[in-house]
A = this chain, B = another copy of it.
Amino acid sequence: MKIEFWFDFASSYSYPAAMSVEALAKKENVELSWRPFLLGAIFNRQGWQDSPFNLYPAKGAYMWRDLERLCDELGLAFTRPSQFPRNGLLAARVACLSGDAPWLADFIRAVFTANFADDLDIASPRVIASCLEASGAHSAVILKKAQLPSAKSRLREQTEQASQRGLFGAPSFFVGEELFWGNDRLTSALNWAVKNRY
């Protein structure tokens, strides 16, 4: 059984999902595939040049309070980032080129923690390097790779695939071609994988 976890490093609700998806999937014996993509590119196609949480202030104010409550429930550290959304391009390229490297899951959680718990700028190569090192990866080699045209096009292709499969927000989960949107749907997606033996 398999679940795809589609996320963006800048996306606020991707944070609690990224921190809990692996443990929950393991518990249900569901295989997990990490799928970083660029939510901004999807938003642009919907006519938004910024996060809807910035474009619609009432929605944004609610989201921050809701996220605070959620993290509290999950026992997750949370600091409202001083900049939102942050530029997750470099982190997404790194995660995208890394296939199923043994350090990938730890790296992803380190970047989300940097953004949403430690209020660090994840656009900074220095921050990403330290997330890589903390996860047991060789940052110099990987950061160099992330600048190659192949790394850039891989992320572009993955984002294009997201759009073509009907993805419109993050986090999202695919179980086969069944789409689940939002951190709230993590359990439903896992149940779907188990029930339908995906």
A169 lies within 8 A of B65 (CB):
no
A169 touches B59 (CB 8 A): yes
Q: Which residues of B contact A77 (CB under 8 A)?
A: none
A84 to B185, CA, bound (A): 24
| Any B CB within 8 A of the CB of A62 | yes
The answer on a CB contact under 8 Å between A168 and B46 is no
A75 within 8 Å of B by Cβ? no
Q: A181-B66, A188-B69 are in contact. Are A166 and B56 (CB under 8 A)?
A: no
- Residues of the B chain whose Cβ atoms lie less than 8 Å from the Cβ of A188: 69
B69, B179, B184: which contacts A62 (Cβ < 8 A)? Answer: B179
Counting contact residues on chain A (CB < 8 A from B), the size range is: 20 to 34
Near B by CB (< 8 A), chain A positions 164-190 give 166-169, 179-182, 184-185, 188
Within the assembled complex, what's the spacing in Å between the Cα atoms of A62 and B168? 9
Residues of chain B with a CB closer than 8 A to A69's CB: 188
What residues on B are CB-neighbors of A56 within 8 Å?
A: 46, 168
Residue contact B58 to A166, C-beta cutoff 8 Å: yes
Residue A71 at the chain B interface, CB threshold 8 Å: no
What are 15 contact pairs spanning A and B, CB under 8 A? A46-B56, A46-B58, A56-B168, A58-B168, A59-B168, A61-B166, A62-B166, A62-B168, A62-B179, A62-B181, A66-B181, A66-B185, A69-B188, A182-B184, A184-B184
